[in-house]
Every structure is written in structure tokens, then in C-alpha cells.
Amino acid sequence: MKFSVGYQYPDDISGERFPEILQDYSDSVAELYFAPGNEPGARSPAAEASGLDEKEAWEILREDLEVASGMGIRLNLLFNANCLVAECISKKLQARVLKITGTILETCGLDSVTTGSWFIAGVLKEHFPQLEIRASVNMKLGTLEALTYASERFDGFCIQRDINYHFETLRRMAEWGRKNGKKLCLLANSGCLRNCAFQTFHDNLVAHLSELHREECCMDQDPVFCRRFYADHVHRMEYLVHSTLIRPEDVFHYEEIVPLIKLATRTHSNPRLVLDAYCSGKFTGNLFDLTEPGHGIFYRGQILDNVRISSEYWNIKSKCRENCSECLFCQKIMEQALLDCTELQ
């Protein structure tokens, strides 16, 4: 299996540039996806979070993309924000997208673009027909109908994470893709709740965090629903029930479905840990540490020990019918694998 990983600007803690991580896993990393500078995306503007101004961000990004491209790693540009409001079909947006794409293509090379915008997809198809245009996972493409609707403007699709364990549906999608010349990929390590009703709201929120004025916010309101959900002790043992996480040990099962697995590492606190786990196909640590966003803070003093989760987990989960209130399988696995840190001493 080959992986697509999310670019991170250097931070003051590790001091490590992202290509240094890629170098160690270059045999397994096929693609690097990135957002340009402080362009709004479905995650916080990465450059701004690192304290970089626009000029500094572009120079660092350009250098790192050139290094990655020199390793033979394909480059995937993100325009995956769905909160462009009045600009969503504007000439201004078109000009900005064309300028950014053209500049990166000319200076660093570019292989594909991921977007959640029907408009941006059409603009890029017209002006850069050599690029693969991929539909964002945020479009929630989870049916054959959805793929058919989107096929006019998209060459590939990142499939809705909520159906990662609907294996028969994924097989049908893969067959459709082969017949229609469309590429599919999956997101392996999302920390989002399965079928979360507030995901679009959350994506729009984090895309514009830099624009929020904290003094004007209602500070008694936590807008991130998954934090509220897992903080409630009633739901603590339901983590695996609501997770879309594909464990590193189970990735090989998807080789018949997709040629590429996407790893969320753009805002992860330890992207090297994520790459090491998935590229090696094994992980002996705390499963809470693999996802983006992570939820380990709500299980302080406990770890979800991946070693205690047997292959039976995949066998049952891949046949999931989502009758969770009757099945209780995931809760049982959770009870076996959730350990107090005192048990490890």
C-alpha cells in the first residue's frame, strides 16, 4: 500500500523539516498533500499556526516541495474549504486559484489538486487539463450515485470516511472506478465521529480560526462536538463504535479497493509516529495517538492498547451492519484494550 501524507510546516519543538520525515519513509509515501500558505482549508491555516508570514511560508513550502518532488513523491494541492460564501463562484476566487496553481506548477511541479468545490474543479479542468482533479473527503462521497454525479469534473475521489468498514460497498465503488477510469483513495486515521452531523460546521470553524476574536465568542460554548461527546462518561466505552479509524495492521485488506491511503498529518502533534505505524503495518502503542484529531486527553491515565486488539476486530468490523445497540462487539473490544496506566508499571 502507498500513502498520501499531509504536509506540516516546521515547528519550534522538533525543529524537523517535513522532508526529513518523508526521507525515512519514501518507499511507502507516494504523495504529499498540502495547502498553500494561509489559504483557508478544512483545517486551520498551517503556516499561520506556525507563526509564519505569507512570504516566509511560501519560501519554506517551495523549498520543501522541491525536496519532496526530488524524491519522486507526487504533489497534491488542496483547495478543500467549503466556506467561501459570496466568493464561491466569483471571478476573484477563479483568479486566485489559477494564480496559486500556476505558480506551484511552474516552480515546484504539481500532479493533482484536491477540492471540495464543484466550481474550482471546473476551473482547473479547463485551465490545467494535465492535472488529476480529486474530490475531497469532505464531500462525503459514499454511494455510487454520488460518484456518478461528480464524475463529470473529478478524475478521482477520496471516499467518505464513514464507510471505511462497509466493505461490500467499497468493492462496488472500486469496480465502478475501474470501469470508468476513476481513482479512489481512503482516509485511514481520522478522529472524527462516524456520520457526525456537525462535521461541516466544524470544518468551516477550524478553517477560519485565525479570524475569530476570542473576546467576541461565547466562551461557555464548546463548538467541537466530538470533544463534548467523548468528555461525557456515558460515551467513554463507545470510542471504537463511532471511530472510522483503519488500524495499521488492517491496511493491507484495502489493497484490492484503493491504490492509495491518505493519512491525516497536517495538524498531528507527531506525524512521524503516524507514518512509522502505517508504513510498517504495525503499531504497539496507544491508538488514541494515531488519529487527527486525537482524543487521548479524555482518557488521561488510560491507553487504548493496540496490541490487545486481535485480528477478530477486522473480521467482524468489515461486516458491520451498524446495529450497534444490539451487537456490542466494539464495546467488548474496548473493554479488553482500554488499560489504566498503572497496569503497565
| Residue carrying C-alpha cell 454525479 | 149
Decide if pLDDT at 96 tops 60: yes
Residue 223, preceding bond cis, omega within 30 degrees?
no
Most confident of 10-14, 29-33, 291-295: 29-33
What integer is the mean pLDDT of 217-234? Answer: 80
Strand 156-158 to strand 183-187: parallel, antiparallel, or no bridges (unpaired)? Answer: parallel
CA dihedral 244, 247, 253, 256 (to 10 degrees): 60
What integer is the mean pLDDT of 259-267? Answer: 95
- Which domain, by its residues, includes 93? 2-207+244-282
Q: Would you say the pTM of this structure is higher than 0.75?
A: yes
Q: Identify the pLDDT of residue 41.
A: 61
Q: What is the mean pLDDT of the chain?
A: 90
- Tell whether 341 is covered by a domain: no
Task: Give the pLDDT confidence of 60-88 residue by residue, as tens digits.
Answer: 999 999 999 999 999 999 998 777 778 89
What integer is the mean pLDDT of 134-162? Answer: 96
Q: Identify the pLDDT of residue 48.
A: 59
- Tell whether 179 is covered by a domain: yes
Decide if pLDDT at 39 tops 80: no
Task: Give the pLDDT confidence of 321-335 residue by residue, as tens digits.
Answer: 888 888 899 999 999
Task: Give the pLDDT confidence of 185-194 residue by residue, as tens digits.
Answer: 999 999 999 9
- Tell whether 92 is covered by a domain: yes
Distances (CA, A) of 112 to 76, 79, 121, 232, 326: 5, 11, 11, 41, 43
- Tell whether 343 is covered by a domain: no
Strand 302-304 to strand 338-340: parallel, antiparallel, or no bridges (unpaired)? Answer: antiparallel
- Tell whether 239 is covered by a domain: no
- Tell whether 236 is covered by a domain: no
Distances (CA, A) of 129 to 33, 36, 105, 264, 344: 19, 20, 12, 27, 55
- CA distance linking residue 80 with residue 83, whole number of Å: 9
Decide if pLDDT at 45 tops 60: no
Domain count, the chain: 1
Say what percent of the chain tops pLDDT 70.
Answer: 92
- CA distance linking residue 134 with residue 113, whole number of Å: 6
- Tell whether 289 is covered by a domain: no
What integer is the mean pLDDT of 134-148? Answer: 96
- Any idea what the CATH number is for the domain that residue 123 is in? 3.20.20.120
- Tell whether 141 is covered by a domain: yes
Strand 29-34 to strand 156-158: parallel, antiparallel, or no bridges (unpaired)? Answer: unpaired
Task: Give the pLDDT confidence of 286-312 residue by residue, as tens digits.
Answer: 999 999 988 888 898 999 999 999 888
pLDDT band per the 50, 70, 90 thresholds, residue 49: low
| Residue carrying C-alpha cell 475501474 | 178
Of 155-159, 243-247, 292-296, give the lowest mean pLDDT range: 292-296
